[in-house]
Amino acid sequence: MKQKEGNKKGWSNSVKKIAIGAAVVLISLGGVAAVEKAQSSTDKSSTEKSVDSQEEKMKSEAIQQEEKKDQSSIHKNEEQEEPNQSLQEKENQAENSVEPNQSIEEAAKQQNKSIPDMKAEEEVKEKEEEEVKEKAQEKAQETEEKKETKPRVDEEEKADKENKEEKKQENVSSSSENKQEQASAQQSGNQTTPSTPELPTAPSNEENQEEKVVYLTFDDGPSTHTQEILQILDAHNAKGTFFMLGPNMKRFPEATKAIVEGGHEPALHGVSHDAHQIYQSKDTVVGEMKEAQNDLYHLTGVRTNLIRTPYGSVPYMKPEYLEAVHQNGFELWDWNIDSLDWKYKDARYVNGVIHDVETKSFKEPVILLHDKQTTAQHLNDLLDYLSAHGYKMKPLDDTLPVVHF
């Protein structure tokens, strides 16, 4: 009995041990499986992350390509819009215009407009085109005139500056020269006269039958040489016209009065003799002439409306300037013979005037001269020739037809 109970206890212990061992084995297997499952889960997560990263990169690249395509498309659309716009404008212009072979009635019908409206629009367009053409022609003409006259004006301005420098030097030495001349005259007891050149033969009787007239005009005075010029004119029974500057009239009041008292014609040449000042506007032109007019009146009691603008009316006197001087009662004179005494400071100007008087078909030559020393030195030669050939030398007046360029 005791042995059976011992065997039962031993069997029971063996079963327990086996059960415990089996349990340990099962637990071990479960742990390995869990580890493998965890590792598998980790690998899977890593793989999934890698895949997700690649997918995100591909998506980013795809988005960038789409953006580039969109920008390219926008540029293309803009480029296409510009010609489309210009085409649209042309179409609009075409719709609002009449074709060469299309009548106004047909065009009005096509554009859903009334015939009077279409005619009015066409007249406006034609008028605008004519105005554009006229302005272009006027501009081209002004440009051509400036090209032709600019060299002459430039030379005159240069000569004018040189003349001013000469006057400064003359003023310095004028007092000593006058004293020397007086002493020389007292010693010799004879008055010196300008030399007379060889003149052509005397004119025929037929030449003397018809009166021939020339008009001698002197610019830029009065000066220290005005009295000498007046003496030469008186010796030939000649009268001249003196276009004077305001400051010079005030500087040489006696010479200004002598011009009026001698029966010559006083006239106006402005104040500044500077193209940059007088030609700023129509008001500056008129203003300088009025100032010179007042200077003459205060000195002599004489008022004149005869004027000559510095360097002549071309190219500086614009149409509105000309209109302004006329509205203010002035009479503008140019010349038809330029002596070039402003350029040639010797007797060459005399030969030039004689040539022009004899060869040009001017009925009444208006000769440009200047109130200066070199002109006075050779003026007697010119007047000798004109007198010998039957020319009368008269002053300008407001009854004569005005000479313009």
**Which are the catalytic amino acids?**
219, 370
Q: Residue 266 half-sphere exposure, CB side, CA atoms within 13 Å?
A: 28
Q: Which amino acid, residue 1?
A: M
DSSP letters spanning 34-62: HHHHHHHHHHHHHHHHHHHHHHHHHHHHH
- The Cβ of residue 127 has, within 10 Å, a number of other Cβ atoms equal to 10
Taking the C-alpha atoms of residue 342 and residue 369, their distance in angstroms, rounded to an integer, is: 8
Q: Alpha-carbon distance 225 to 247, whole Å?
A: 16
Is-contact 373 185, C-beta < 8 A?
Answer: no
CA 349 → CA 75, 153, 194, 354, 391, distances in Å?
74, 18, 16, 9, 18
Strand-pairing partners, residue 369, are: 218
Compute how many other C-beta atoms are within 10 angstroms of the C-beta atom of residue 118: 21
Q: Tell me whether strands 391-393 and 240-244 are parallel, antiparallel or unpaired.
A: unpaired
H or E segment at 235? Answer: helix 226-235
